Amino acid sequence: MDGEAQHSREREEGHDEPMAAILDAIAVGYMVTKGTRIIDINRNLCRTLGFSRDELLELEMPWPFTPPQSLELSRAITERLSRDALDSDAAPSDPIEVPLMRKDGSRFVGELTIAPARDADGAILGWVSTIRDVSRRHDYEVELERLATHDPLTGLANRRLFEERLDQEMAGAIRHSRSLAVAILDLDHFKSVNDRFGHPAGDDALRESSARLERILRKGDLLARVGGEEFAWILPDAHSHGAWAAVERARHAISDTSFEAAGDLTISIGVALRGDLQDGAQLYEHADESLYRAKREGRDRSIMWRSL
């Protein structure tokens, strides 16, 4: 039996054929439920989910297109939208994104709307839902959000995210009387890398430097690229010995092994501890001062900030 004949057979008595044709022409997935039972579904939603109409009609929740780990979330979302829709004077609920699963087990993000179908007296006959696969849009929005807070070359946090996180960590350190360290790291003589080997080699060296530094981070640390060849590092709960050991590991991660595209590189590091400081920007400034001392004193070294 071909697809059209099968679909005609599936439209059993009790369904209005012109209305069925209209529903199948709708560009989004469409489903009607009564309570938690599916009583109608259009061809587009079947295609999106990978199930036939026969496989979905009359099913009660949990439906097979809801991932097991998302059952409670999907149920709560559906119940909330249903409650909102009960108020006949309320504006339609905004679409909401839910995790869904195709018959083959692949996952996607669905945009769900739900509204009551009422008879002439206003009594609810069932619930009309639309489901649209918005995975591409969702992925695009996630990527835009990531680019707003991360450096596109290295994938590290950018200055904006670093400053937000530093404010958060400083507030937490003050509130709970915890230690906090910030380190500023700058690749030495990096301009000569671009001049000698070209900017593509310089970009490769930056990416490799970022990867080497990320490998020595502790859980909870944040490393950001805050300038051309400059990095900033937040080390929560780091005391003087721990912070010093960490930045020395970072220095050796750069200097101990040659770079394929750029040869031997070194890095200078300034690090500062919170002590009794109350301001994240001031902590950053102290680390920056220490970095410039490291540069002045010969580079390829770490210097801890000390008040004069």
Catalytic residues: 229
Give the distance from CA 285 to its chain's centroid.
Answer: 30
Buried b (16+ CB within 10 A) or exposed e, 219-244: eebbbbbbeebbbbbbbbbbeeeebb
Q: How far apart are CA 260 and CA 266, in angstroms?
A: 14
Residue 99 bridge partners (DSSP):
109
Q: At what angle do helices 240-255 and 199-215 cross, to 10 degrees?
A: 140
Cis peptide before 18 (omega within 30 of 0): no
CB 111 within 8 A of CB 91: no
Nearest to 213 by CA among 180, 239, 245, 246: 246
Nearest to 35 by CA among 73, 61, 56, 68: 61
Residue located via tokens 């995790």: 99
Looking only at the bridges linking them, the beta strands covering 29-34 and 37-41 are antiparallel
> How distant, in Å, are the alpha carbons of 23, 38, 91, 257, 291 from that of 295?
70, 70, 62, 21, 6
